[in-house]
Amino acid sequence: MSISRRRFLAGCATSTLALRQAQADEEILLDARPAFGAIAGIQTQYWGYNGAMPGPVIEARAGDTIRIRFRNSLPETTNLHFHGLHVSPTGHGDNPFLEVPTGEELLYEAPLPSTHPPGTFWYHPHVHGSTARQVFRGLSGPLLVRGELDEIPEVAQATEHILMLKDFTIARNGVIPEASFGQRMQGREGSLLTINGALRPQFSIARNGLLRLRVVNASSSRYYRFEVEDHPLAIIATDGGPLPSTRWAEDYLLAPGQRIDALLAGDRPPGAYRILNLPYNRGAMMMGATATPPTEVLGHLIYSDTTAQAIPVPDRLVSATTLPAPNFQRNFVLTEGMMGSFLINGRSFDMNRIDTHVQLGTVEDWVIENRGGMDHPFHVHVNPFQLVDSAGIIDPAWRDVINVPRQSSRRIRIAFNDYPGMTVYHCHILDHEDMGMMGILEMS
């Protein structure tokens, strides 16, 4: 494995918890442990990888093996999930059924195929019943796969930042409190919105400069409608997949687990611009009534005194690939029962039941219908997918999480390639996953 140490990716001058680059060439040590330090500028007892929130940046290239000596120094069982990677779900790979008890170590090994797409991925715990709490307390870190997209000259010249969007609730004594039953039903959200653990950090841009923002929604349940004031986003990748051509957007809705990779040009009048979370109503009930949250400020983009030579935003990116017509169609119905039951096809998650069996090497269409009162972001491990619209047109954007708005449905097309074994699909509102909205997928 090659873990590059060439870039320091800390976003923010004001951040006291900078992202730290993993510096191992062979084996990365990742210690999940309680820590004490500044989150959102408040001295907080949180959980972090190697004590950091976010955890260290892991960088790899297609063909590398990600090898992590993982230690659990938490007071409870945990494990690791490599969100979005196309790797084996078996053995000590991206296996969500592994459990690492307190005080124990496990060597995770995830060989990336030589064809693995470049992209922004992330790692976080995935123990059924504890995932929301563990992520909410701070456990997550970025994982970058570099490749063709990074070698496009304009993209390579851009100044890169990773923005891990993560909300927190911090009590007066510095403790992150446990969510109530009602909060878990809605999906717990914190009132402190941080980027890389910092409250309203500043990002600097030269006049005419070009930034590359890798934005990760690392929150347990919160949605973000991400915008930088007066600066359209030139989106070059969705989740872990590069787009064939740049898509321009004023703002972008990121459900939990989703990512975008966007270029941003410093071509506006110099000054300070707000990085915003715009209102989006995901159907969660706040104070007894469905509420649309207000616009919130996540940080600032500040023009520096320097002027850079303008770098154009590229239009063409990578060659487009779309999946062929499916061999099979399958339907998934998401419902919310009384008393905190979150169901897929009427069933709550059972560790001892295979819900879906697919044949390796085939392509399927999955129609996911949400009959609930809340949006549910649907995530499938191991294999990315593409969205098919109601007219049957396939979108070349690759995704691993799709938001299914309440009372609507989405069709995804997915190829089950390379890796036999068992894995899961689930709602990425992690409280809903913990409360049963997850199924086991067997590929053979």
Residue whose C-alpha is closest to residue 150's, from 6, 256, 24, 287: 6
Angstrom distance (rounded) from CA 159 to CA 37: 28
Angstrom distance (rounded) from CA 293 to CA 286: 9
Nearest CB to Cu ion, comparing residues 154 and 431: 431
Per-residue contact string for residues 319-358; x = within reach of Cu ion by CB under 5 A: ----------------------------------------
Angstrom distance (rounded) from CA 337 to CA 346: 9
- Residue 379 CB, shortest distance to Cu ion, in Å, is 10
Nearest CB to Cu ion, comparing residues 83 and 376: 376
CA angle 55–61–62, rounded 5-degree value: 125
Angstrom distance (rounded) from CA 129 to CA 300: 36
In order of 19, 329, 402, 432, 439, the CA distances from 426 in angstroms are: 28, 18, 11, 8, 6
Q: Pick from 86, 128, 133, 376: which binds Cu ion (CB under 5 A)?
A: 376
In order of 222, 325, 358, 363, 393, the CA distances from 329 in angstroms are: 31, 10, 11, 9, 16
Residue whose C-alpha is closest to residue 336's, from 300, 376, 299: 376
Residues 112-171 close enough to bind Cu ion by CB under 5 A: none
The piece of 48-56, 59-67, 89-97, 369-377 that touches Cu ion (CB under 5 A) is 369-377
- Residue 100 CB, shortest distance to Cu ion, in Å, is 26
Q: In what order do the strands lie in the sheet with 210-217?
A: 198-199, 192-195, 159-168, 210-217, 259-265, 233-238, 241-249
- Residue 246 CB, shortest distance to Cu ion, in Å, is 31
- Residue 190 CB, shortest distance to Cu ion, in Å, is 17
Burial of 101 (0-12, 13-18, 19+ CB in 10 A): exposed
Nearest CB to Cu ion, comparing residues 88 and 134: 134
Nearest CB to Cu ion, comparing residues 96 and 257: 257
**Total residues contacting Cu ion (rule CB under 5 A)?**
4
- Residue 437 CB, shortest distance to Cu ion, in Å, is 5
Angstrom distance (rounded) from CA 278 to CA 206: 25
Nearest 5°: phi and psi at 401?
-135, 135
Residues 403-442 close enough to bind Cu ion by CB under 5 A: 427, 429, 432
Nearest CB to Cu ion, comparing residues 301 and 343: 343
Nearest CB to Cu ion, comparing residues 213 and 438: 438
The amino acid at 376: H
Nearest CB to Cu ion, comparing residues 236 and 429: 429
Nearest CB to Cu ion, comparing residues 337 and 361: 337
Residues 196-225 close enough to bind Cu ion by CB under 5 A: none
Burial of 206 (0-12, 13-18, 19+ CB in 10 A): middle
- Residue 126 CB, shortest distance to Cu ion, in Å, is 16
- Residue 188 CB, shortest distance to Cu ion, in Å, is 12
Given the rule CB under 5 A, which residues bind Cu ion?
Answer: 376, 427, 429, 432
